[in-house]
Amino acid sequence: MVRRTRFDDSDCPVARSVDAIGDWWSLLIVRDAFDGSRRFGEFQRGLGVAKNILAARLRVLVDGGVLDVVPASDGSSYHEYVLTPKGRDLFPVIVALRQWGEGHFFEPGEPHSEMVDRQGGRPLRALEVRSADGRRLDPDDTAVVKVDQLGTPAGAVPE
């Protein structure tokens, strides 16, 4: 086998997510979808991606239940790609990547795009990982366990 490795049967949800998205283009397509892009041409212009690549990625995202194909909203006989609820659930992923990038890849004053609260226009609060009872958690405060059947953790797992 020389095909790119798949992770769709992994026990780890991170691996399955990564596998379902497919590649980075797909994530940028989702980013643009959150930002209002709906038409093939909009995605193509926004991303500068070759059309064959875009067509393939859109197909993967539609097959994966992230995007849905719906009749165009302008009355034409074309169609549009809109996020499904599953796709909209990627919102924290996009926000997390955005905040990481803002924090580490731009010089002070360097132009960049920023996500803001529509009501007031202020930047978002940084994402916080919290326990069920609301304490802020650092990586060291967490562990990964294997859940075998009915929600009863079976102990630490090397993943």
Partner DNA sequence: AGGATTGGTTTCAACTTGCTACCAGATGGA
Partner DNA sequence: TCCATCTGGTAGCAAGTTGAAACCAATCCT
d(CA 24, CA 27): 5
Q: Which one of 45-53, 93-101, 129-137, 146-154 is the stretch in contact with DNA (CB under 7 A)? A: 45-53
Exposed, middle or buried by CB within 10 Å (0-12, 13-18, 19+), for 44? middle
d(CA 14, CA 102): 23
Find which of a second copy, DNA, none residue 118 binds, CB within 5 to 8 Å per kind: a second copy
Establish if 1 lies at the interface with a second copy (CB under 8 A): no
d(CA 143, CA 3): 32
Find which of DNA, a second copy, none residue 56 binds, CB within 5 to 8 Å per kind: DNA
Q: What does the DSSP 8-state code read for residue 66?
A: S
Among 32, 40, 84, 98, binds DNA (CB under 7 A): 40
Phi-psi group of 11: left, alpha or beta (phi > 0 → left; psi -120 to 50 → alpha; rest → beta): alpha
User: Binding string to a second copy for residues 15 to 54, with x set by CB under 8 A, is what?
Assistant: xxxxxx--xxx-xx--xx-xxx---------x-xx-----
**Closest C-alpha to 38, from 87, 95, 79:** 79
Q: How far is the CB of 118 from DNA (least distance, A)?
A: 26
User: Binding string to a second copy for residues 91 to 130, with x set by CB under 8 A, is what?
Assistant: xxxxxxxxxxxxxxxx--x-xxxxxxxxxxxxxxx-xxxx
d(CA 25, CA 8): 19
Per CB under 8 A, contacts with a second copy among 69-98 are 83, 86, 88-98
Find which of a second copy, DNA, none residue 58 binds, CB within 5 to 8 Å per kind: DNA
Which residues contact DNA (rule: CB under 7 A)? 1-5, 23, 25, 39-42, 49-53, 55-56, 58, 72, 76-80
